[in-house]
Structure 1
Amino acid sequence: MTDRTHDHSALLQLRNVSRHFGSFRALDEVSLTVRAGARHAIIGPNGAGKSTLFGLISGTLPVTAGSILLDGKDVTRLPVYRRVGLGVAATFQHSSLFLRESVLENVLLALLRRPGVGLGGLRRVAARPQAIAQAHALLDQVGLPTRHELAAAELSHGERRQLEVAVALATDPRLLLLDEPAAGMSPAETARLTALLAALPGEVTVLLVEHDLDMVFELADTVTVMHLGRHLMTGAPDEVRASAAVQSAYLGTTEVPS
């Protein structure tokens, strides 16, 4: 059902979203708008509710209260695969790659866009020259043009994250969700990933949860700060860096880069 009050500049809207675990309120009435084409980051100290919020948006966690709209359509109760069908793709902190399969095969499986497909399906799609060309183009886009024959298990940590982005892009997403994409990366790997995400086409909206604040302030055009399960502020990077409330929230945890 489409909401007639939908903000047409927004791709994603959260309205008073809460998530409770028993009596613990991990998220408490969070409202958030992500505009189409944005590079939007969610930050906050440990325990702020960032990963819980990511789970609600991606569909891996159910909401306790509130609603989630994607392009005006209520997706609050939709399972993950239905959200994928509407253009939501997510990469998570823990790799979901097929480590025994080749880099190319991982992308081909994603191109099938069908959950639970077996290798029989993979062989069928691999026989299509157009699919092979698409997969190679995606690997080139993420900086892995010469790694296609390797098993995914043979890639470095940073290369696996690059492959995860290629797999996500293979589903032709409108909204790309990234959960701690720079976790465990070297500075050089983080720089490559940041450049990759910055170069994605404007029709792909990027929403990332990230601890690496240097990466956030280099990449994001909009930053949301969470604190103790609540929305603290959303604004341009310079506004967030200058906020006394944000500085206070991070006090004793980490510094907000100047």
Structure 2
Amino acid sequence: DDWDALEQIWDHIFESALRVNPAEHPLLVTESAWNKRECRERLAELAFEKYRAPALFLCKDAVLTAFAAGRSTALVVDAGAGSTRVVPVYDGYVMQKNVAKQSLGAHMLSEIILQQMETDMKITVTPQYKVKEKQPVETEQPAKATLHDRPNTTASYDHYAKLCVVEDYKESACQVFEAMWDETSTGSTFGRPMSVEKPVPSMSFGQTTGMDTNKPVFGGFSPSSNNGPAGGTTAPAAGGAAAFSFGTADYIPPPPLLLLLDS
């Protein structure tokens, strides 16, 4: 744990963003459902000894999510960048032993889309840092662009820049299938065009990718259905994690509220 970085973040929040004296205001700090006691004690030490806070309240983020929706009992599904977490909340308390986690998230979906574009669709994904200038072309015509010569760029940065382009496409075009997944019934979703203003030399306005925009998102619910970097994994999908979390509870709650968060 990088506590020095946390202190710098808090310094920026109090001094630059909020411009308040933390010694004059009680602090409300959110934490994950599986946060360790040692981390909680270190947070309290930091809040009271360095920032002189008059009061501190640590609250589970899933509980606050349920309260924000007006419910004290809920099944909170937090779909983040690097993982998906399912946290049952009952009467304002997190059921610790029923918390389920999986290491599949939005980053995995981006990797799958990138692989499908480059391998299956034979699309060259050109990152934005390589683009020097673009020339206007007619609709559905190949893009014309002049690229920078950057021979000293590392492979890791180039891959990261490609993922940024893919994430833009994912957020603009991809969607969750509205019914049960069936590959024979998704023909109408093939080939959504990329966004117009994005400086991606390999694509132009109106040019289609030829890729099903539902299938990558479905990988988060059924990871074994994708043959990407995380394809074939035995990790539980989001639905399986939710079923485990709800099914192992030792109480009979009222009908739960399912909350989807994108953090």
Q: TM-score range by the shorter chain?
A: under 0.3
Larger Rg: 2
Q: Please, what TM-score do these two structures have when normalized by structure 1?
A: 0.26
User: Using CA pairs below 8 Å that are at least 6 residues apart, which structure has the higher relative contact order?
Assistant: 1
Q: Please, what TM-score do these two structures have when normalized by structure 2?
A: 0.26
